[in-house]
Structure 1
Amino acid sequence: MENLCILFVLLLWVGSGIAASHFTVNYIPGFQGPLPFELQTGYVGVDESEDVQLFYYFIKSQGNPKEDPLLLWLTGGPGCSALSGLLYEIGPITFEVVEYNGSLPTLVLNPHSWTQVASIIFVDMPVGTGFSYARTQLASHSTDLIQVRQADQFLRKWLMDHPEFLSNPVYIAGDSYSGITIPAITQKVSDGNEEGMDPPINVKGYIIGNGGADISFDANSKIPFAHGMGLISDELYESLKRSCGEEYVNIDPNNTVCLKHMQDFNEGLYGLFPNHILEPICGFASPKPFQILDKRSLSDNSHDILEIDPFFPTIGCRSYAYLLSYIWAGDNSVREALHIREGSIKQWQRCNYGIPYTSDIPSSIKYHLYLSKKGYRSLIYSGDHDMVVPFLGTQAWIRSLNYSILDDWRPWLVEGQVAGYTRTYSNRMTFATVKGAGHTAPEYKPEECLAMLKRWINQEPL
């Protein structure tokens, strides 16, 4: 009788949503028919009181899930939803980008999904991102280091709930701002294993795309990048180098000559789209789409709603596809299908830049050095038309690690065509550019990025 009572209490505890919970999702609104892959959604509570509830989407590998690696995927920001990485970058479904007509956006299969070769947990981190939420005001505040600790807790709890993946190789992966936290998370997992934390995680390395690392490298690389891409004149470039001493971030306020040249630089780049310098600048689909959601059910002429604000992206813009995610994720039927807890998140945002967050890892370089000494593998890739985190800065911090080159700079090919350039180092780090890609690379070059991942996962040369 006592055991039955304990079991009853445990069932009540799980049912209350305090413990980790997950659901299998076979159908989602907007996609015709049953999903041809295994999707699971759920929450994992982290920290001692579990006041932070992290939401995730898990998609089992469509290849060999018993042996394929497990990726923990973190989208950047900080504050950009994992759903953005799933739908626009590496997941098995994406939106059919057609002009909005008032109905729920249509989802179609992505033929270049990374789930062909890996199982992926897309996590809404840090708290306040996507559908993740805090149950107290104090718990809503996060930092880089808090996110690192919570990611380690999340992964260990998730694996306890999914013990069939304990033997799979694990990679911590993500892009953009997550380049700051991913090496620290990998080190945290590694240290936890050595300290005997349960369950042990079979971590093998990490993957970073278009990722930040250190502002002195990332931001200072924008001037030589702009010059190399023909965006500024030789004369301005030389004047900037001479007057600023190649330090373009922490400028002495008394250095008026450098400041004037920086003003000329910024004015010269006005009107360029930094995520991909060849694409047009478009309206940013955030946060005004909530107005559409309010009016969608009230107006028969929803097409006009999109045109009343000149800052809304138009159908020819890449960011128009982002707009569809607000409409889709804000729909009640979608939230029910995903098992979103009622009342937890009022307004979903693709990128919530308003979360209370403190950046307290100024540089990730020391973590890369630590992981290199431990022998972990790493794949670092950059879209070569990204001016948010230029590939020149990424190359510079990799050089600062001071590891010897094993396979020197060379092109890598997809379907007989140059897909980018690559170099490998003695610390088991592979660097690759993705030709023609922006911030972030899989969104622009999905076929090439899948080929890159497949070869790297299989420990083949790119």
Structure 2
Amino acid sequence: MSKLASRVIAYYVEVVVILMSLVSLALSNYPHHATTKTSELYSTIVDFLPGFPGKLPFTLETGYIEVWEEVQLFYYFIQSEQNPEIDPILIWFAGGPGCSSFTDLAFGHIDSPAGAGFSYATNKSYYPSDTKTSKQAHGFLKKWLIEHPKFARNPLYIAGASYGGKVVPSLTWEIVKGNEAGIGPQMNLQGYILVNPITAWYLDDQKKVEYAHRISLISDELYKSAKLSCNEDYRTNEANKSNAQCNKILEDVSNCIDPLEDQHVLDPKCTHSSSPNHWCRGNDRMIASQWANNINVQEALHVREGTISQWIRCRGHAKSDVFMYNKDIDSSIIYHQNLTTQPLRALIFSGDQDMSVPYVTTLKWIKELNIAPNDDYWKPWYLNNGQVSGYIGVGKGEEVQLFYYLIESNRDPETDPLMLWLTGGPGCTSLSAIFFEHIGPLSFNYTGVYFNRTTSTWETDLPALQLNPYSWNKVANILFLESPVGTGFSYSTTAESYYTDDINSSNQIYEFLQKGYVLGSPVSDPDESDLIGRINFVHRVSLLSDDLYESTKVSCGAPNWNVSNAECKDNAQTVSDFVAPLNDDNFLESKCNDLFPSNWCRKNYNLIISNWANNVQVREALHVREGTVGHWTRCNMTLKTQSYAITMRSSFVHNQYLANKPIRALIYSGDQELSATYVGTQRWIKKLDVPIDNDWRPWIVNGQVAGYVTDYSNGHYNLTFTTVKGAGHCPSEYKPRESLFMFQRWVGQNYL
């Protein structure tokens, strides 16, 4: 067996697709007259479908195949748009058990393995199981290939999602055995594909807690307590029933993760009150149910009349729908082990936001197969080679003129708080916060805005402005300051004054920090906490392999972390190089690699605001002093290289000083950011040694988890640290509604 044949590798193919039900349905769901005598094969071509305008632009065949004389399996067969005669055949199981493969046909979104759909049984006492499903599917394939001989030699792949992780390996092994025994037509089996596969229940239960900790759903302290109290056994079993402390800890874990949509933690969770006005993925499934139960649709699909009473997307999920199914494959790992002895290829992939079948579970059992990885055992992969007014004079002679925007509160300007907003960089304009980060009352309307790459000109007038419904000036006055000098429209009357540093800039604006402060995604300790946090974070979110992470921890002396030694620095650089192709601000978004990107990326906004801020009429409206600033840029990066000295390597000592004062602090981080990770921020906050007042817990906006929050207090200093779920650098840019809610609660001196 070659190394290539034994590896779990990624592979893309143009395919002929057969979508079929994972299990046949028990007759108990159908009228008793559904006992029509049928032939072994019934198929038709579908040219038109209700809801689609005109003839279908692809070849769709539907039909039934009889197996075991009592089961009629319904299928959808979609021919490849490339070369059907030689392209691979992909057999797809959608999940459940008991879910219709129509789900994947309609949405291309995989929730669970194939289920019932329009398949039915003529024997009402028939009950399906994992092993029966595998054997029936093998029988289905043999009959289907006999009736479709032109596809008999096409490469064959078996694929499935979620519960398909039990059946697909079993079916693949059935085909291997059938080929070896010479039973029926020889199948040109090449491999199998699994998507977020359920493999062994005990593994999923075990790894869910670890996964929840990795992606910041539970705190470090809660995770450590769970490991200690439960002896790293988080299953609901007899051994744990008598462990009261473990049960209490697992209850605390559930309180943190139960409010989330476990199949995609960044999606809104569907509730009974969910409506089309507040989208959740369940809305799409209700639409599918309405469509599939339409008489005209069933006629177009050539569904046999009277064989089902109601199409149900996933059997047994509703209390009123009793679905008898025997889950008789406890673990499918044995099938994978058998298949590693065969010259087959496997593609196994997982969404990294799935908590129902976490990728760490899949990674664990793959390692148990003892297959040696190639040299590049963990690396990123890419899509398309790539992939968010007035002046104040300061200084002795007021030679430094700092430009600002003051936006009064909509509520009560005379009594509402005043917040000073400083954008990072150094050298980035506070217009970013106003227009992009949704802190201010305006945003751009991008309709009709287009940059012509050929002529390097804008094909529109100025972008229109629109009101931002999530502006923070609903509850506070906001002073946006362009600092340090050289940022935005700030300028100096002398060349010498452009040369400044962290301390000098802080001294120029220190009076604004006497009442309290807010930090969003702060860079505080780049030499230690931010670096250590980055290393820990990229491992937590599956950007770094376990092996490379453990190697780095050893070289850096974890848990004490000596980041000053040369070996540690070399390893840290290796980690940085590894994640360099990703977007630091939000690693889920495309990275901008082009000055004028043809595909959307956040840099497009820079181009638009630059066009707007350099317009003569805009400058006149903002009362920018003519001739003081040449070409305006969103971030003046020349400050770092020419006139600005970063003299404050760490701001931790200042935070320590403030922790002894009677003030309040709000510190928040997006949980998808690489540049200033929440893990690094959390690390230096803990080093302040301020007692926890209210421990790690989810905070909710409109019934959905918006992030996780911890409150600290020593009696006079009060600090709130929170993550913003699904957000990157400058979280309000990504999650404006949630960020406004957070600020409203905090500024009103309420817990989140």
1:386 aligns with 2:372: no
1:161-240 aligned at under 5 Å gives the runs 161-240=147-226
In 2 relative to 1, CA 85–136 (structure 1 residues): closer, same or farther, beyond 3 Å? same
Aligned counterpart, 1:23: 44
Which of residues 294, 303, 314 is equivalent to 1:331?
294
Of all paired residues, the percent bearing the same amino acid is: 42
Which of residues 297, 312, 315 is equivalent to 1:349?
312
Aligned counterpart, 1:88: 107
Aligned counterpart, 2:378: 409
* Matches of 1:411 and 1:365, distance apart in 2: 26
**CA displacement 1:420-449 (0-9 Å, x = unmatched):** 9799xxxxxxxxxxx859xxxxxxxxxxxx
Aligned counterpart, 1:258: 246
Q: What CA RMSD, in Å, does the superposition of the two structures yield over aligned residues?
A: 2.2
Cα offset, 1:73, TM superposition: 0.4
**CA displacement 1:250-287 (0-9 Å, x = unmatched):** 3422111111111111112131111111111114xxxx
Residue segments in structure 2 that go unaligned for 5+ positions in a row: 1-35, 317-321, 388-541, 546-586, 590-752
Contact 1:412–1:422 (CA<8 Å) still a contact in 2? no
1:400 aligns with 2:368: yes
Question: Which amino acid is 1:194 matched to?
Answer: E
Aligned counterpart, 2:264: 276
Contact 2:274–2:280 (CA<8 Å) still a contact in 1? no
Contact 2:265–2:355 (CA<8 Å) still a contact in 1? yes
Cα offset, 1:235, TM superposition: 0.8
Higher Cα Rg, which structure: 2
* Matches of 2:296 and 2:185, distance apart in 1: 36
Question: Which amino acid is 2:149 matched to?
Answer: P
TM-score (norm 2): 0.45
Q: Which runs of 4+ in 1 moved over 4 A?
A: 311-315, 420-423
* Matches of 1:356 and 1:422, distance apart in 2: 42
Aligned counterpart, 1:32: 53
In 2 relative to 1, CA 44–389 (structure 1 residues): closer, same or farther, beyond 3 Å? same
Aligned counterpart, 2:448: none
* Matches of 1:184 and 1:66, distance apart in 2: 27
Question: Which amino acid is 1:130 matched to?
Answer: G
In 2 relative to 1, CA 90–318 (structure 1 residues): closer, same or farther, beyond 3 Å? closer
1:30-69 aligned at under 5 Å gives the runs 30-47=51-68, 50-69=69-88
Which of residues 72, 76, 80 is equivalent to 2:91?
72
Question: Which amino acid is 2:74 matched to?
Answer: F
**CA displacement 1:46-74 (0-9 Å, x = unmatched):** 11xx2110000000001111111001100
Contact 2:333–2:365 (CA<8 Å) still a contact in 1? yes
Contact 1:313–1:319 (CA<8 Å) still a contact in 2? no
**CA displacement 1:386-429 (0-9 Å, x = unmatched):** 001000010000011111111310000002336x9799xxxxxx
Question: Which amino acid is 2:184 matched to?
Answer: D
1:154 aligns with 2:154: no
Which of residues 308, 312, 317 is equivalent to 2:280?
317
Question: Which amino acid is 2:222 matched to?
Answer: L
Aligned counterpart, 1:298: none
* Matches of 1:436 and 1:178, distance apart in 2: 27
* Matches of 1:272 and 1:259, distance apart in 2: 20
Aligned counterpart, 1:96: none
* Matches of 2:164 and 2:153, distance apart in 1: 25
Higher relative contact order, chain-length normalized (CA < 8 Å, sep 6+): 1
1:92-131 aligned at under 5 Å gives the runs 129-131=116-118
1:367 aligns with 2:355: no
Q: Secondary structure at the match of 1:414?
A: coil
Q: Secondary structure at the match of 2:377?
A: strand
Aligned counterpart, 1:144: 130
Cα offset, 1:318, TM superposition: 2.3
Cα offset, 1:311, TM superposition: 5.0
* Matches of 1:86 and 1:355, distance apart in 2: 23
Q: Secondary structure at the match of 2:269?
A: coil
* Matches of 2:108 and 2:355, distance apart in 1: 18
Contact 1:174–1:182 (CA<8 Å) still a contact in 2? yes
Question: Which amino acid is 1:43 matched to?
Answer: Y
Aligned residues: 350
Aligned counterpart, 2:472: none
Cα offset, 1:315, TM superposition: 5.2
Cα offset, 1:245, TM superposition: 1.3
In 2 relative to 1, CA 334–60 (structure 1 residues): closer, same or farther, beyond 3 Å? same
**CA displacement 1:194-242 (0-9 Å, x = unmatched):** 1111111111110000111112222211111100111111111001111
* Matches of 1:210 and 1:310, distance apart in 2: 28
Cα offset, 1:313, TM superposition: 5.5
Question: Which amino acid is 1:348 matched to?
Answer: W
Question: Which amino acid is 1:347 matched to?
Answer: Q
Contact 2:70–2:123 (CA<8 Å) still a contact in 1? yes
Residue segments in structure 1 that go unaligned for 5+ positions in a row: 1-14, 92-123, 284-308, 424-434, 438-462
In 2 relative to 1, CA 345–199 (structure 1 residues): closer, same or farther, beyond 3 Å? same
* Matches of 2:380 and 2:139, distance apart in 1: 39
Q: Secondary structure at the match of 1:361?
A: coil
Cα offset, 1:90, TM superposition: 6.8
* Matches of 1:421 and 1:66, distance apart in 2: 39
In 2 relative to 1, CA 365–37 (structure 1 residues): closer, same or farther, beyond 3 Å? same
Greater percentage in helix = 1
Cα offset, 1:316, TM superposition: 2.2
In 2 relative to 1, CA 60–90 (structure 1 residues): closer, same or farther, beyond 3 Å? farther
